[in-house]
Amino acid sequence: MTLPTVLVADDDRSIRTVLTQALGRAGYQVRSTGNAATLWRWVEDGEGDLVITDVVMPDENGLDLIPRIKRVRPDLRVIVMSAQSTLMTAVKAAQRGAFEYLPKPFDLQELLSVVGRALATPSTPVISAPEARDSEERLPLIGRSASMQEIYRTIARLTTADLTVMINGESGTGKELVARALHDYGKRRGGPFVAINMAAIPRELIESELFGHERGAFTGATNRSQGRFEQANGGTLFLDEIGDMPPEAQTRLLRVLQEGEFTSVGGRQPIKANVRIIAATHRDLRTAIRQGAFREDLFYRLNVVPIRLPPLRERVEDIALLARHFLDRARDDGLPNKNLDQGAIDRLKQHPWPGNVRELENLMRRLAALCPEETIGADAVAIELTDAEPPAESGPVQPMGPDTLSSAVERHIKEFLRTHNDGVNATDIYDKIISEVERPLIKLTLAATRGNQIKAAAMLGLNRNTLRKKIRDLEIPVVRGLM
């Protein structure tokens, strides 16, 4: 039996060497080249069982080569790797029929597992999706951190598959932007994108908003009205803040997803549901399930492809790029052109960004409008960041007056009681509120001790076993040595 041959094209000699050695050790034959022309000649000559190609090469772009390769050898798998990883490279690679896309630097182990899969999976014909229309300049999503690249890869994979997606992330992390990108680069881009925010609609109106109502279905329903499901026909329905959906609506939604059809409020005629669902929430739905506030079966229906958007403080390397992007946008909107000096960027990186990308966007607009100098320095940033908090490393005890914390808690409890007003059968409000306070307290103390539970227990004045139990009960992820 002959060994499978992998053709490698990359103008970076060191990458060729690393790949040749790793693939060789894994039992493959390797031929490598630094240019696209040689790779193309090998492909035309019928050589190789798999291609691994870089994007930017001196003579031709690796992405442009894929459709040509697919024309002469439709079964030949192509793996694309790029240091230039933006959402567009990931999406283009997928649309042109690449088997997989790996942003550089990649993990050799992952590369080998992709190679193994590529050679093992039976070939299916590529239905090449029409090309994305956005140009490189107008990227919808900014950021090149490893976590964002993982998100680009997921979006790219979903350009050809119409799967249900659940986006989870703190407020302002870009959930809606990702939902739109999934629609804009997906199969249904010709159809409508309809969004509905569960947190913004009075709970008694949610079902009629979703499914529509017949004339006279309830007091005030003077006309028949189309629901969002019907409006989104042939397109995408974005269920924003799904964690805030009331229980009755959850039950109804689950039934619609199971049966593929719905009836309007007060209606009898079933209507076929032809929508792709993308849901989003900032809540931890697993906790909500445990607390009986979210249906587990609905969760599994929606959580087909989970996407977790990282908070901005977990990807500080994107801050400079995002800040530049928002200053450019402000300039396009007629505000004066501004730059940031290194001190300003460093200051931005220290901020914990509780409001995430949206907070950064607002700050940049404010600075563009208010800062008198063309180059923004650290001081101007510091002044605008009035609510600046010290970085987590300086200790878990934030210098907050006791009334600041308790007034915040008071606000939250009021809100909680307001939204659970009709939940007369609530029996565990005490535990719910306490766990809301305990979770961030323990999480941040662990972050400050870099995951060292013994130190964290000492700082908190808790018994080690008690801390361990709380970590388990509150499902706090424990990552040692990180952050």
Which residues of this protein are in contact with ligand ATP, per CB under 6 A? 141-143, 169, 171-177, 282, 322, 325, 357-358, 361
| Least distance between Mg ion and beta carbon 356 (Å) | 11
24, 6 Cβ separation under 8 angstroms:
no
Residue 381: which of Mg ion, ligand ATP, none does it interact with, CB under 5 to 8 A by kind? Answer: none
Q: In the complex with ligand ATP, which residue's Cβ is closer, 62 or 172? A: 172
User: 305, 245, 281, 244: which is closest to 169 by C-alpha?
Assistant: 281
Residue 34: which of ligand ATP, Mg ion, none does it interact with, CB under 5 to 8 A by kind? Answer: none
CB count, 10 Å around CB of 117? 13
Q: In the complex with ligand ATP, which residue's Cβ is closer, 309 or 344? A: 309
In a 3-state reduction of DSSP, which class is residue 8?
Answer: strand
Q: In the complex with Mg ion, which residue's Cβ is closer, 62 or 169? A: 169
Q: In the complex with ligand ATP, which residue's Cβ is closer, 209 or 361? A: 361
User: 185, 174, 166, 114: which is closest to 148 by C-alpha?
Assistant: 174
Kind and range of the H or E run holding 189: none
Q: In the complex with ligand ATP, which residue's Cβ is closer, 325 or 347? A: 325
Residue 141: which of ligand ATP, Mg ion, none does it interact with, CB under 5 to 8 A by kind? Answer: ligand ATP
**458: its two tokens:** 């000492």
Q: In angstroms, rounded to a whole number, what is the distance separating the alpha carbons of residues 453 and 469?
A: 11
Q: In angstroms, rounded to a whole number, what is the distance separating the alpha carbons of residues 191 and 180?
A: 12
**333: its two tokens:** 């909107």
Q: Which residue is nearest to ligand ATP (CB)?
A: 174
| Least distance between ligand ATP and beta carbon 311 (Å) | 10
Q: In angstroms, rounded to a whole number, what is the distance separating the alpha carbons of residues 416 and 262?
A: 32
97, 5 Cβ separation under 8 angstroms:
no
Q: In the complex with Mg ion, which residue's Cβ is closer, 115 or 165? A: 165
| Least distance between ligand ATP and beta carbon 117 (Å) | 29
Q: In the complex with ligand ATP, which residue's Cβ is closer, 43 or 322? A: 322
The pairing of beta strand 261-262 with beta strand 77-82: unpaired
| Least distance between Mg ion and beta carbon 240 (Å) | 5
| Least distance between Mg ion and beta carbon 53 (Å) | 37
| Least distance between ligand ATP and beta carbon 151 (Å) | 9
- Which residues of the shown chain bind Mg ion in the complex (CB under 5 A)? 175-176
| Least distance between ligand ATP and beta carbon 243 (Å) | 11
Helix runs in 188-284, H state only: 206-211, 228-231, 247-259
Q: In the complex with Mg ion, which residue's Cβ is closer, 194 or 271? A: 194
User: 200, 196, 199: which is closest to 212 by C-alpha?
Assistant: 196
Q: In the complex with ligand ATP, which residue's Cβ is closer, 99 or 152? A: 152
48, 78 Cβ separation under 8 angstroms:
no
Residue 173: which of ligand ATP, Mg ion, none does it interact with, CB under 5 to 8 A by kind? Answer: ligand ATP
CB count, 10 Å around CB of 369? 12
**What is the C-alpha radius of gyration for the chain, rounded to an integer number of angstroms?**
26
Q: In the complex with ligand ATP, which residue's Cβ is closer, 143 or 352? A: 143
| Least distance between ligand ATP and beta carbon 411 (Å) | 17
| Least distance between Mg ion and beta carbon 358 (Å) | 9
> What is the full DSSP assignment across 261-318?
EE--BT--S-EE---EEEEEESS-HHHHHHTTSS-HHHHHHHTTEEEEEPPGGG-GGG
| Least distance between ligand ATP and beta carbon 327 (Å) | 12
Residue 174: which of ligand ATP, Mg ion, none does it interact with, CB under 5 to 8 A by kind? Answer: ligand ATP
443, 437 Cβ separation under 8 angstroms:
no
